[in-house]
Amino acid sequence: MRRSLLGLLTVAMFAVMFSSFGVVSAAASTTEECKIPTEEEEFTSRHFSDENCEKESGAEGKYHTTLIPGDSILRTTKTSPIVLRAEKLAKPLEIACEEYGGTKTVSNYKEEEKRGFKGEGSIELSGCVVQEPTVRRTVSSTIDTVQLELASEDLKEVQRTLFVPKEGTKIASFTIEGGECPVAGSYTIEGKLRSQTVTIHTEEFGAKTGSEMFISKEIPIYWEWIYHEVTKANGKQIVRELP
């Protein structure tokens, strides 16, 4: 009986050692792609090969991911309506945009036991219209950010991506025109933008994702939408590990 128990413990120890080889901690802030790993690639430990990882939404079950190569270019797309809100102007302002695009160059890194990712890129919003106030007005049809630096941020319950201007404080700008519009004028968005993970494939911008953005220096503005990313090289779905 003792020999049998000892044998079982020995087998279990070897199994753990083998399964841990080349495995990325599931709680690490890493950028990964859906892919069956080769022997040389690091991969997530709690998932196994499954077509669910290729789904843009509703991914369930087991799946495999590997770390993206350094300086990978990611293409971003939206999965929900795009809204910009500023509620403390003369009248509440709401801008809706049809498309969210842009590219990022992202690399994973490891510093001692800490893992994360960093990179830079820009965000492109197009087909923008003012929804509130409802008086006659027009807005810049495209709202593009300056070049932004991005970096992972770990919270206990979620993971976030921080975006800050590579130079200065300006994130983007837009102009609203209309003689009768109470919020007509040119606006510069400054501060910090943050998104946070929703599912393995999606991240969101919103009023509660930690962004610190302002127009006219002191009026908060929020960006609200959900997005996902794919690798530009092969169109593989991007995964960000959840705690």
Domain with 225, as residue range(s), is 70-240
Closest CA to 81 of 137, 150, 131: 131
Q: Tell me the residue ranges of DSSP E strands in 138-242.
A: 138-139, 142-144, 148-154, 159-165, 170-177, 185-197, 202-205, 212-215, 219-220, 222-231, 238-240
- For 187, residues 6+ apart whose C-beta sits below 8 A from its C-beta are 173, 174, 175, 176, 215, 216
Mean pLDDT, residues 183-208? 91
More confident of the two residues 2 and 131: 131
Q: Pick the range with the lowest mean pLDDT from 20-29, 92-101, 108-117, 181-190.
A: 20-29
Residue 186 falls inside a structural domain = yes
Section 31-52 average pLDDT: 69
Q: How far is CA 1 from CA 5, 7, 204, in A?
A: 6, 10, 55
The pLDDT value given to residue 19: 40
Q: What is the pLDDT of residue 10?
A: 37
Beta-sheet pairing, 219-220 with 212-215: antiparallel
Q: Report pLDDT for 23.
A: 55
| Encoded tokens for 196 | 């946070």
Give backbone dihedrals phi and psi of 144, rounded to 5 degrees, phi first.
Answer: -110, 140
Instruction: Give a yes or no: residue 195 inside a domain.
Output: yes
Query: Tell me, what's the pLDDT at 51?
Result: 62
- Assign 61 to helix, strand or coil: coil
37 located within any domain = no
At residue 108, the pLDDT reads: 92
Structural domain includes residue 9:
no
Quote the number of domains for the chain. Answer: 1
Q: Is residue 28 part of a domain?
A: no
120 within some domain: yes
pLDDT exceeds 60 at position 7: no
pTM of the model: 0.80
pLDDT band at 85 (very low <50, low <70, confident <90, very high): very high
Residue type, 5: L
Is 56 a domain residue?
Answer: no
pLDDT higher at 18 or 124: 124
The residue ranking higher by pLDDT, 213 or 4, is 213
239: tokens are 């995964």
- Tell whether 188 is covered by a domain: yes
The predicted model gives 177-188 an average pLDDT of: 85
Q: Is the pLDDT of residue 18 over 90?
A: no
Give the mean pLDDT of 215-233.
90
